[in-house]
Amino acid sequence: MSHEKILILDFGSQYTQLIARRVRELNIYSEIHPYNKLPDINDGWNAVILSGSPHSVHDLDGPDFDLSKIKGKLPLLGICYGAQYLAHRYGGTVVPSKIREYGRANLSFVASSNKLLESISLNSQVWMSHGDTIETLPDDYEVIASTHNIQIAAFKVDNELTYGLQFHPEVYHTIEGATILENFLVNICGFSQDWTPNAFIEETVLDIQERIGSGKVVLGLSGGVDSTVAAMLLKQAIGDNLYCIFVDNGLLRKNEFQSVLDQYKGMGLNIQGVDAKDLFYNALKDVSEPEKKRKIIGSIFIDVFDEKAKEIDNVEWLAQGTIYPDVIESISATGGPSATIKSHHNVGGLPDYMKLKVIEPLKTLFKDEVRKIGRSMGIDNEILDRHPFPGPGLGIRILGSITKEKVQVLQEADYIFIESLKSEGLYTKVWQAGVVFLPVQSVGVMGDERTYENAVVLRAVESTDGMTADWVHLPYDFLAKVSNDIINKVKGVNRVVYDISSKPPATIEWE
């Protein structure tokens, strides 16, 4: 089945993924493409959104591209930079703001007769983030909204389904942003909203069957949501021709290897567990640099995985639990406007010696969509609600070099934190939580004795897909109890601190 789809052109905004997510929440399929890698516009696209950008339209090296195949031919919505670009490119003027609007603003004028702003209230709160302002519009453009500070907060082009918004409807701070996007996508573009979990499952299973046929697929399971949902989609499509491998790299959480292995076997998956702890520990000895640790962990995993995969006769395919943010974040700095923050262990292909074809059934989905698919397939909530866990595991939660002893200390501290969240009913209210082992020691007192032991950091964030995140305001009494339990029960720790940094500017993980 072919779905209607909307093209989101990325000019480098930190909010571009939010645009795609808001569109998906309306059951409409969307894809993000860098503006300088424009796909074939005749390839079934039904509408286009232009994202914001950290650039000015006056920057000599700023984003610039040919709109002739889009503007006036497809419904088009420019957001922030996208709106300024539509004005500047066609004869309007964009100037540095006299009053720089960043943050909350309120609409002082709304052309309610306009379809884009239908049912949007006067004085509605919107979110601004711009250093330039549209001063004048081209002759065939009409102002359809203003704020108390700027006259041109939104516009429409005469005789075209082309619109511009100076504010960001995709962020939650724009109170009626979802309504504006729905007005554009449903009332103006006419999308039928047929992108649903059940439709995805049905189409993906058929696609896997057509691609794989009677071939064999090997999949490295991690215990996380993504690889689990990928496994169940493949199992539904090809049954016992799916071979799963679960590698213990020595960097999993306490008791995780055996408990997850038992869980997978109970789900009817054909799975083999591999204890490779010592291989990883030996390779990581005296290695402190975060990216080097990631690469070593990834490399050893591939070696172990390849050795086990070779034991499967005539295996042709490798399945991966890659999801859409992995794909977008791994675009190189030269391939699009977004810079690579860190390498992803499941993106970017295979070594030449692994002669396997790759299948990634989840690569178009965001994390919350993966969970929706899993629930529609009847996967246990214990798995679907499991917090995201980095591919390199505790290896990037131990700052500095990794030893078996440090891993054991961190596993114990992490176990206390996670189990405490569960017992207090806080686990499902947190998107991701864990403990970080710091490469510092501090003075403490236990009984009448002076101690000089390790410090650990508690980290808990709330997020939707990990692209942005806020630290969670856990109750002080809860934090006090967790700190006390860790210091009293985990030998080698005498100080516990809580990370209150948000992303951005920090990242969720410390490495």
The contacts of residue 236 (CB under 8 Å, 6+ apart) are: 201, 205, 377
Instruction: Specify whether 80 is catalytic.
Output: yes
Structure tokens at 360: 């990634």
Instruction: Specify whether 148 is catalytic.
Output: no
Burial of 482 (0-12, 13-18, 19+ CB in 10 A): buried
Structure tokens at 13: 């905004």
Reduced to 3 states (helix: H, G, I; strand: E, B; else coil), residue 427 is helix
Q: Can you list the positions of beta strands (E) in 36-180? A: 45-50, 76-79, 93-110, 125-136, 141-147, 154-157, 162-165
User: Strand 449-462 relative to strand 470-471: parallel, antiparallel, unpaired?
Assistant: antiparallel
Reduced to 3 states (helix: H, G, I; strand: E, B; else coil), residue 332 is coil
What is the distance between the alpha carbons of residues 53 and 65, in angstroms, rounded to a whole number? 14
* Catalytic residue of the set 55, 80, 369, 509: 80
> 204 and 351 in contact (C-beta within 8 Å)?
no
Among 282, 228, 286, CA closest to 250: 282
What is the distance between the alpha carbons of residues 476 and 456, in angstroms, rounded to a whole number? 17
Instruction: Return the sign of the alpha-carbon dihedral for residues 327, 332, 333, 337.
Output: negative
User: Strand 242-248 relative to strand 216-221: parallel, antiparallel, unpaired?
Assistant: parallel
Instruction: Specify whether 345 is catalytic.
Output: no
* Type of residue numbered 29: Y
What is the distance between the alpha carbons of residues 294 and 274, in angstroms, rounded to a whole number? 20
Among 131, 162, 124, CA closest to 146: 124
User: Strand 216-221 relative to strand 315-319: parallel, antiparallel, unpaired?
Assistant: parallel
> 162 and 168 in contact (C-beta within 8 Å)?
no
* Catalytic residue of the set 55, 88, 130, 168: 168
* Catalytic residue of the set 4, 170, 256, 329: 170
Active-site positions?
80, 168, 170
